[in-house]
Amino acid sequence: MKKVITYGTFDLLHKGHIRLLKRAKALGNHLTVCVSTDEFNALKNKHAYTSFEDRKYILEAVRYVDEVIPEKSWNQKIDDVIDNHIDVFVMGDDWEGKFDFLKDYCKVVYLPRTEGISSTKIKHDLGMKPK
């Protein structure tokens, strides 16, 4: 079995998220999604519209996702890769190069983002102020 992992907040789930998950899953047989907890988002000065529990629940319903685990810190990625026997680490290409340190543990793939859509854009278009 070839296992893939990706990370993110996955707030206001949209087409770009689904495309990323579909392409990530296509790189293996099992996709683990590591979702930022509310506490970790606070440390990053980010605020998700929906709670960690709700984002986890929604992602668990996506057919490309096999498992959802919490992301509690920047430093857990190496342990996640080792502990979950991950073969491929996937992120959007706006993170290009930032996770190359994982190449000692697994293959690292940066996928192109879907143009014209993001949670930030949705929040901006709705007039939502960052909290």
Known catalytic residue at 44 = yes
Given the structure tokens 């979702």, which residue do they identify? 35
- Which segments of the chain does DSSP mark as H helices, in order? 15-25, 38-43, 52-60, 77-83, 119-125
Known catalytic residue at 72 = no
Write down the catalytic residue from 2, 15, 22, 44: 44
| 99 CB burial (10 A radius; 0-12, 13-18, 19+) | middle
In angstroms, the CA 121 to CA 108 distance is 27
Query: What type of residue is 64?
Result: Y
Catalytic positions: 44, 46
